[in-house]
């Protein structure tokens, strides 16, 4: 017995003293519990703070096959979850009857497919089903568990989806801003460790170790959700009419190169990304290379003006040109040409011969190659998006140089390169790095980092920039010769260029597959927006950039300028032959003010509220009226005795008289046209409103009379010149000729 006690005491001493620290540590591990504190991923917003991507509460479903089996409720669980989640019964039954290698039922199985990251509405249905089943079977536990988690939610669904990107079901960032700024957005998870008793209840006097989660940084993009919507709306119209292989539109501020909108079709919904094919995730704006076609002539034109070799009045013979060292002649789209014309008319007609003379013969290969490089072609722009391509400018042979002058041959560019280059022409000659992020805010330090515009280099002088803008404006304003006439916007000066390029298929230029485009900016005198529209393989081989892309450009730019508050100059282009564009006023009576505003915003029409009521009682002009796109709509929301005189600037005399009658004041007009100023006065002890009217700049008006105005019925449309066919299809040989390089 003594020996036994000596052995026990020795063992106790060894365990508690010699190994005491080791076993105490092991015990603490048994007592301790740890939980991960998930960091909240930073939000992504547009430039106005509208949320595009954010973390939101989600729920994960798990089941306990052991509990379900013991309660004999497999059929009820399978039927209930099938009805709520739509998950096949075979998969559910396999889940709720799952066994381990020893043949025993599992105590916990997560429902990864179809039950992971469900929203609150589904979770509430699961809870209700669980409670109902528990009451029916008189069970405290039916083996269905819900745990809270975070999931990524994209508030605008498909809006800017390729730009914003998405997270997969495992939370991995796979594209767009989500992937490029993943490190800043995802944050750092925290944790908490505490001591517990046998029932897993935290000990009041136990040790606690805590590391708080660090939420991710918030990203504010440069895009404007409204302009993004205008762009995607235009893309859907292109799809409806021409069913292309793909189409891309980029809108940017040329003075800062902040991207205002970027979109492609086909597209996808990042909330349901698994439902779309991989091709829908592709951002053609930075990843696709195209022969640019005649939009590339802008770079050649700018170089020619800068070098002093472009004289708009100088004459040349169009149609075809034969160059030494190049076996085949280079032709215009119209093989017999337009006769002997000026270089400015050559620009309007998009003559290949004109640009070969300017670029190949006068500027020369070395200088031309240098200008293309200065404009950023053949190199990445540096935009904050992954997998941007650099493009190709490979001018080894004389034929390469000649073809490059009009955007064909060994010239491959991305849409974002095109936008950056034309922005340099618009903004006074400086090439800027495209910016997609405006601000980054750290929620921990409360500091905000603003991304400033970055000038890469000066390409051309301000004087050259101004001249090129004036020349490109005539491509749009000349309704007889200009290939860009369908981009003309009444009241605004627009510069632009169409492009149509044959695609290379099996080493040869295709006769029926084209890439058509339009790029331009407005207003010419003070550019606020540059827009590039490129459409890959429209279903009609006879249409060009002027037919397909220019109308989309016009729609986007008009709405965007109105949204930006850029007033029209109302200066008409002499002899343009273009009638004033109009829009039809919708019926807004009896609508709630918010709904009426939304309808007008969709049409890019400004409105002014007259009164403080909640419902539209009357509108001026009346529903069905044809008005200029820049004219305001007045929404009357209160009775006459409560109204105040609104700002009438820009309205016609007829509408001014009607509004004055509504608010109960006499109107005394002076002049003709549209109201330019107003003043409230007292005449013979009676309040009157004196208004001064003036016609639009450059317009010739007839006498309006007391309540008349110029005929607003013109819709601004023009007959499409079918001879444009594939725009200014810049092939210099037949469709069957082999493509060089």
Q: Which residues are catalytic?
A: 294
Q: How far is CA 276 from the centre of its chain?
A: 19
Q: Which of 246, 331, 294 is closest to 413 using CA atoms?
A: 294
Q: Concatenated DSSP letters for 319-375?
A: SEE--TT-SSPEE-SSTTBTBEEEHHHHHHHT-HHHHIIIIIIII-HHHHHHHHHHT
What is the C-alpha to C-alpha distance for residues 342 and 474, in angstroms, rounded to an integer? Answer: 13
Residue 456 and residue 432 in contact, taking contact as beta carbons nearer than 8 Å: yes
Those residues with Cβ within 8 angstroms of residue 377's Cβ, 6 or more apart along the chain or in another chain: 299, 391, 393, 411, 413, 417, 421
Instruction: Decide if 32 contacts 194 (C-beta within 8 A).
Output: yes
Contacts of 147 (CB under 8 A, 6+ apart): 59, 60, 62
Q: Which two tokens stand for residue 12?
A: 């106790």
> Following DSSP, what letter does each residue of 427-439 receive, concatenated?
TTSEEE--B-EEE
- Beta carbons of 223 and 250 less than 8 angstroms apart: no
For residue 14, the 8-state DSSP code is: I
Identify the three-state secondary structure at position 444: coil
Distance between CA 506 and CA 441 in Å, rounded?
50
Q: Which H or E element spans position 35?
A: strand 32-37
Tell me the C-alpha distance between 425 and 608, whole Å.
37
d(CA 186, CA 218): 10
- Phi/psi at 125 (nearest 5 deg)? -65, -40
What own/partner pairs with CB < 8 Å and gap ≥ 24 does 69-74 have? Answer: 69/97, 69/105, 71/137, 71/139, 71/142, 71/143, 73/133, 73/137, 73/139, 73/142, 73/143
With beta carbons less than 8 A apart as the criterion, state whether 52 and 156 touch. Answer: yes
Q: Are 145 and 61 in contact (CB under 8 A)?
A: yes
Question: Which has the closest alpha carbon to 253: 457, 412, 47?
Answer: 47
Strand partners, 681: 688
Residue identified by tokens 């100059």 is 569
What's the token pair of residue 283?
């951002």
Distance CA 115, CA 449 (A): 39
Q: What is the spatial distance between Cα 581 and Cα 401, in angstroms, rounded to a whole number? A: 41
Evaluate whether 651 touches 702 at the Cβ level (below 8 Å). no
Neighbours of 188 (CB within 10 A): 13
- Any idea of the CA torsion for 445, 451, 456, 460, to the nearest 10 degrees? -160
Q: Cα separation of 534 and 251, whole Å?
A: 12
The per-residue DSSP string of 95-125 comes to HHT-B-TTSPBPS-EE-HHHHSSB-HHHHHH
| DSSP for residue 612 | S
First to last CA, the chain: 100
Identify the helix (H) or strand (E) that includes residue 498.
Answer: strand 495-505
């Amino acid at each position: 017995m003594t020996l036994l006690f000596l052995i026990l005491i020795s063992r106790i001493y060894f365990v508690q003293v010699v190994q005491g620290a080791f076993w105490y540590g092991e015990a603490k591990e048994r007592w301790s519990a740890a939980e991960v504190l998930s960091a909240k991923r930073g939000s992504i917003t547009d430039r106005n703070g509208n949320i595009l991507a954010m973390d939101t509460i989600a729920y994960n479903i798990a089941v306990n096959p052991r509990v379900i089996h013991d309660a004999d409720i497999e059929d009820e669980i399978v039927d209930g979850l099938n009805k709520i989640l739509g998950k096949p019964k075979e998969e559910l039954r396999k889940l709720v009857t799952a066994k381990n290698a020893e043949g025993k039922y599992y105590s916990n199985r997560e429902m990864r497919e179809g039950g992971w990251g469900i929203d609150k509405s589904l979770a509430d249905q699961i809870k209700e089903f669980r409670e109902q089943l528990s009451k029916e079977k008189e069970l405290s536990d039916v083996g269905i568990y819900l745990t809270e988690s975070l999931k990524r939610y994209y508030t605008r669904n498909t809006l800017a989806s390729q730009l914003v990107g998405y997270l997969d079901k495992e939370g991995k960032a796979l594209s767009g801003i989500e992937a490029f700024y993943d490190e800043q957005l995802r944050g750092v998870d925290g944790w908490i460790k505490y001591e517990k008793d046998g029932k897993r209840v935290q000990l009041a006097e136990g040790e606690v170790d805590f590391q708080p989660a660090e939420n991710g940084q918030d990203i504010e993009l440069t895009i404007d959700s409204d302009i993004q919507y205008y762009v995607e709306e235009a893309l859907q119209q292109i799809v409806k009419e021409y069913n292309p292989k793909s189409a891309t539109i980029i809108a940017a501020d040329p003075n800062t190169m902040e991207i205002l909108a970027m979109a492609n079709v086909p597209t996808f919904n990042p909330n349901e990304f698994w439902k779309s094919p991989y091709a829908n995730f592709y951002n053609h704006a930075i990843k696709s290379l195209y022969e640019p076609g005649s939009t590339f002539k802008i770079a050649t034109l700018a170089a020619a003006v800068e070098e002093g070799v472009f004289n708009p009045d100088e004459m040349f013979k169009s149609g075809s040109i034969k160059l030494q060292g190049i076996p085949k002649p280079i032709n215009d789209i119209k093989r017999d040409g337009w006769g002997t014309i000026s270089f400015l008319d050559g620009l309007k007609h998009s003559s290949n011969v004109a640009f070969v003379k300017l670029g190949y013969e006068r500027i020369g290969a070395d200088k031309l190659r240098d200008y293309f490089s200065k404009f950023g072609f053949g190199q990445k722009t540096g935009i904050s998006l992954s997998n941007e391509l650099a493009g190709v400018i490979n001018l080894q042979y004389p034929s390469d140089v000649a073809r490059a002058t009009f955007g064909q041959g060994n010239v491959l560019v991305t849409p974002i390169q095109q936008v950056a280059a034309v922005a340099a022409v618009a903004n006074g000659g400086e090439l800027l790095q495209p910016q997609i992020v405006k601000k980054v805010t750290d929620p921990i330090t409360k500091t905000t980092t603003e991304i400033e515009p970055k000038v890469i280099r000066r390409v051309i002088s301000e004087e050259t920039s101004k001249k090129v803008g004036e020349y490109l404006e005539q491509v749009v304003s000349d309704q007889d010769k200009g290939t860009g006439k369908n981009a003309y916007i009444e009241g605004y000066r627009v510069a632009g260029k169409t492009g149509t390029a044959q695609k290379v298929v099996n080493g040869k230029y295709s006769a029926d597959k084209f890439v058509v485009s339009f790029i331009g900016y407005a207003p010419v005198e003070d550019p606020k927006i540059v827009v590039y529209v490129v459409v890959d393989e429209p279903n009609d081989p006879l249409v060009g950039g002027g037919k397909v892309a220019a109308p989309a450009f016009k729609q986007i730019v008009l709405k965007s300028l109105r949204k930006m508050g850029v007033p029209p100059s109302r200066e008409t282009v002499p002899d343009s032959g273009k009638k004033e564009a109009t829009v039809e006023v919708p019926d807004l009576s009896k609508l709630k003010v918010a709904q009426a505003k939304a309808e007008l915003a969709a049409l890019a029409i400004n409105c002014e509220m007259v009164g403080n009521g909640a419902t539209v009682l009357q509108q001026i002009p009346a529903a069905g009226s044809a008005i200029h796109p820049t004219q305001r709509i007045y929404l009357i929301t209160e009775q006459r005795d409560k109204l105040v005189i609104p700002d009438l600037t820009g309205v016609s005399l007829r509408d001014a008289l009607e509004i004055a009658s509504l608010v109960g004041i006499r109107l005394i007009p002076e002049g003709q046209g549209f109201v330019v100023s107003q003043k409230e006065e007292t005449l013979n002890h009676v309040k009157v409103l004196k208004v001064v009217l003036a016609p639009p700049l450059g317009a010739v008006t007839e006498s309006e009379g007391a309540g008349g105005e110029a005929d607003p019925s013109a819709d601004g449309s023009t007959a499409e010149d079918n001879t444009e066919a594939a725009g200014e299809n810049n092939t210099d040989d037949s469709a069957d000729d082999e493509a060089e390089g």
